[in-house]
Amino acid sequence: MVAARKPAVPGSALHLVPALPQRAPAPELAAAEPVIRAETLTIRYGEFAAVRDTTLDIPPKQVTAIIGPSGCGKSTLLRAMNRMNDFIDGVRVSGRLLFNGRDVYGPDTDPVELRRRVGMVFQKPNPFPKTIFKNVAWGPAVNGYRGNLAELVEESLRKAALWDEVKDQLNKSALALSGGQQQRLCIARAVAMQPEVLLMDEPCSALDPIATARIEDLIDQLKSQYTVVLVTHNMQQAARVSDRTAFMLMGELVEVDVTSRLFTTPGDPRTQDYITGRFG
């Protein structure tokens, strides 16, 4: 179903971006303690600073989109939130990154436990070469889940809006699913770990428009239970699905605001230039 849309105001930044869907206003950032907080965070690959002196709060049970041109540092920032950057040689982190008030890079943080609580969905669907059932059940099983695995698999597939399509095919290979179904399976796999946060790194970039619309609808449903951080190169997608949007440029967090306000009355001229297509 296509949401009703507000007309763009001539002369505004939004005039050159498809109008935002009607949606309830997001609460202000200060209304709740942030689930994730970056404080003067800098991330370097060798001598190159991919993220520079960034401070950003991620409020609970909202969708926060991070936008910006390619190479601006948005995926690096996202991956830092569950320490996926640890797998890249030469990465150095300074400043602080907090998850529920605890330092993500502190000596008492277990990265494996962190990634269970802060799940991630990648740009391209990456199902395991296993059955649909085992794709969802594998993570909880190896982490000692003691409940009913079949019930957990069904619940996770329902949350990913995939159950009705695959309930009679659970023993078939996940690789036989379409691209959009595979991405929803990866979301179900992440949800099965019962995280608090879902990080999504351009989850629709490899999908067709119909599959993209289904993922966007799903993101809107997931935020009632999870905090979602979405990196996207698609400004229209950020406008459609996010409550708050952060704009990054050349490693710097330029501006973060309620999405409707950032796209209509940005506070920084660089944001205005980006969303009106003057660069990027």
What is 89-116 written as a DSSP string? TTEEEEEEEEETTEETTSTT--HHHHHH
Continuous segment of H or E residues that includes residue 220 = helix 209-222
Which pLDDT score is estimated for 94? 96
Domains delineated in the chain:
32-127+197-275 (3.40.50.300)
- List, run by run, the mean pLDDT of 10-residue segments along the chain (280 residues): 39 46 44 91 96 98 97 97 94 97 95 95 95 97 93 97 97 97 97 97 94 95 96 95 98 97 96 91
Kindly state the tokens that stand for 23: 């949606």
Phi, psi values for residue 161, rounded to 5°: 55, 40
Provide the 8-state DSSP code for 280: -
Residue 272 CB-density burial (10 A; 0-12 exposed, 13-18 middle, 19+ buried): middle
Length of the chain: 280
Give dist(CA 80, CA 211) in Å, integer. Answer: 28
Give dist(CA 190, CA 209) in Å, integer. Answer: 23
Give dist(CA 191, CA 69) in Å, integer. Answer: 29
CA distances from 128 to 97, 133, 189, 199 (A): 30, 11, 10, 19
Residue 234 CB-density burial (10 A; 0-12 exposed, 13-18 middle, 19+ buried): middle
Q: Are 254 and 247 in contact (CB under 8 A)?
A: yes
Which pLDDT score is estimated for 279? 83
Beta carbons within 8 Å of 139's beta carbon, 6+ residues apart: 189, 192, 193
Give dist(CA 192, CA 148) in Å, integer. Answer: 12
Measured torsion, CA atoms of residues 183, 191, 20, 79, in degrees rounded to the nearest 10: -80
Q: Are 94 and 87 in contact (CB under 8 A)?
A: no
Half-sphere exposure of 76 (CA within 13 A, CB side): 26
Q: Are 109 and 81 in contact (CB under 8 A)?
A: no
Provide the 8-state DSSP code for 244: E
